[in-house]
């Protein structure tokens, strides 16, 4: 049967309109491939595609090209030039309350220990023994010293070597000359910030505009009440972008927080080279997102503004007068992301007589929101690897996404 004109592929008219289905599929692929920004152009590298993508004014912006999400080679560049050089977060500083408390992480393939030393200071160390290069600690915990699980070389909490068995006959061995390499760690508003880059500007300088925006909420005083991790089947940037825009809230989160927002009351100002943000005036649907009734410090809209802060490259914070939650992202291949997920409440809500019930309700809500986001972001990645998909125009509510793309483009050399 001849296809109606409305269903014919442009430029591929058929006299009889009854070509085999596979032929029509191949023509469809060819037709879409002719359009710009739909499939990786062999003549352009992913960074060239991305720089072309962000070279237009925001009111003409489109979503990032597919190659920057799916290319293993582009991910290697991100690891070197973004994760290997910028400040990342290991979560909240109150996770490590006592001397010897530690956590581990990987930055651009580098195993790292972050701990509270005997002087009560945060310290970053290489998590690789200086003997035969075994990794040392795993996960989180508490130690009096760092003992290699391979040959029991033992390090103090400052990284200096305390002792090594059966080394007295090696004339080249000098315990005092051996120590774990240090890694820069700072406490920024209660966040553990870590970088491999000795020349990176300090977070308090680089992120001073964040402090100017939300300093009235005293983020450092919020208390973390949960922390966990998971792995999703999507690119790390897909999840980051999902956080950066609230355009999806009424639909993706229709069963949870979608009703607490009004698209007309979302504001997406221009961000900075180090972060982007937007904010929402919340209604009373989620009382925990508002200032505590006993709080007399916050006034007017301060009592109901929710801030969504995206600290480049991968610390994503939702901050309300009542609670906060966050995601810290690290890529695990182009198609997976490892996520550190945590949250808690402001000091006045933590002091409320109903704090335990409030915390349970908050955790239940945020878990449900995460489940919804998992479904949405994994669907996006499935679409990214589809042959017929193509990036479309951005809404004015997706300005943070365009700024994030601009940041990525600025970090990767051509």
* Distance in angstroms (rounded) separating the CA atoms of residues 90 and 115: 11
Mean pLDDT, residues 264-279? 88
202-411 classified as CATH 3.40.50.300: no
Q: What is the pLDDT of residue 253?
A: 77
Sheet strands side by side (includes 182-188):
88-92, 191-195, 182-188, 122-126, 110-116, 101-107, 140-142
Q: Which residues pair with 227 in a beta bridge?
A: 342
Q: What is the pLDDT of residue 12?
A: 37
- The answer, yes or no, to whether residue 246 has pLDDT greater than 70, is yes
pLDDT tens for 290-327 read 999 999 999 999 999 999 999 999 999 999 999 999 99
Q: How many CA atoms lie within 13 A of 29 on its CB side?
A: 7
Q: What is the pLDDT of residue 35?
A: 39
Q: What is the pLDDT of residue 228?
A: 96
Q: What is the pTM of this model?
A: 0.87
- The answer, yes or no, to whether residue 56 has pLDDT greater than 90, is yes
Which CATH architecture does the domain made up of 88-188 adopt? Answer: 3-layer Sandwich (2.102)
More confident site: 268 or 257:
268
DSSP output for 313-368: TTEEEEE-SSEEEEEEEEESSTT-EEEEEEEEE-HHHHTSTTHHHHHHHHHHHHHH
Domain ranges in the chain are 88-188, 202-411
- The answer, yes or no, to whether residue 24 has pLDDT greater than 50, is no
Using alpha carbons only, give the angle 105, 90, 199 rounded to the nearest 5 degrees. Answer: 90
pLDDT tens for 72-112 read 999 999 999 999 999 999 999 999 999 999 999 999 999 99
How does the average pLDDT of the chain come out, rounded?
A: 89
Categorize the per-residue pLDDT at 7 as very low, low, confident or very high, splitting at 50, 70 and 90.
Answer: very low
Q: Are 253 and 374 in contact (CB under 8 A)?
A: no
Q: What is the pLDDT of residue 261?
A: 66
Q: What is the pLDDT of residue 250?
A: 79
Q: What is the pLDDT of residue 283?
A: 78
Categorize the per-residue pLDDT at 254 as very low, low, confident or very high, splitting at 50, 70 and 90.
Answer: confident
pLDDT tens for 195-223 read 999 999 999 999 999 999 999 999 999 99
pLDDT tens for 219-239 read 999 999 999 999 999 999 999
* Distance in angstroms (rounded) separating the CA atoms of residues 390 and 340: 30
pLDDT tens for 114-169 read 999 999 999 999 999 999 999 999 999 999 999 999 999 999 999 999 999 999 99
């Amino acid at each position: 049967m001849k296809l109606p004109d409305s269903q014919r592929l442009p430029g591929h008219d058929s006299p009889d309109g009854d070509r085999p289905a596979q032929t029509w599929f191949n023509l469809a692929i060819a037709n879409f491939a002719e359009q710009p920004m739909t499939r990786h152009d062999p003549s352009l590298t992913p960074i060239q595609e991305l720089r072309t993508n962000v070279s237009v004014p925001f009111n003409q912006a489109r979503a990032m090209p597919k190659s920057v999400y799916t290319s293993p080679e582009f991910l290697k560049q991100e690891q070197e030039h973004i994760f290997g050089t910028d400040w990342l977060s290991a979560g909240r500083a109150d996770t490590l309350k006592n001397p010897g408390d530690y956590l581990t992480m990987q930055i651009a393939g580098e195993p790292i220990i972050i701990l509270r030393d005997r002087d009560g200071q945060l310290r970053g160390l290489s998590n690789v023994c200086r003997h035969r290069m075994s990794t040392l600690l795993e996960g989180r915990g508490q130690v009096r010293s760092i003992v290699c699980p391979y040959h029991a070389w033992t390090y103090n909490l400052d990284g200096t070597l305390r002792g090594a068995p059966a080394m007295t006959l090696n004339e080249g061995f000098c315990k005092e000359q051996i120590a774990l390499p240090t890694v820069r760690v700072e406490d920024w508003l209660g966040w553990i910030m870590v970088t491999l880059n000795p020349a990176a500007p300090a977070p308090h300088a680089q992120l001073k505009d964040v402090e100017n925006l939300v300093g009235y909420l005293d983020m450092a005083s919020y208390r973390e009440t949960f922390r966990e991790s998971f792995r999703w089947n999507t690119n790390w940037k897909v999840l980051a972008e999902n956080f950066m825009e609230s355009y999806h809230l009424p639909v993706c989160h229709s069963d949870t927080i979608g009703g607490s927002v009004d698209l007309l009351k979302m504001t997406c100002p221009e961000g900075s080279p180090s972060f982007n943000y937007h904010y929402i005036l919340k209604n009373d649907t989620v009382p925990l997102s508002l200032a505590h009734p006993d709080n007399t410090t916050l006034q007017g809209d301060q009592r109901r503004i929710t801030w969504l802060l995206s600290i480049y490259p991968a610390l994503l914070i939702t901050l309300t007068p009542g609670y906060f939650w966050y995601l810290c992202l690290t890529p695990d291949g182009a198609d997976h992301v490892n996520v550190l997920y945590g949250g808690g409440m402001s000091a006045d809500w933590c002091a409320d007589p109903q704090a335990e019930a409030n915390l349970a309700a908050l955790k239940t809500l945020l878990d449900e929101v995460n489940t919804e986001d998992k479904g949405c972001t994994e669907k996006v990645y499935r679409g990214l690897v589809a042959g017929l998909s193509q990036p479309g125009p951005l809404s004015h509510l997706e300005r943070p996404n365009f700024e994030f793309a601009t940041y990525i483009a600025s970090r990767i050399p051509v």
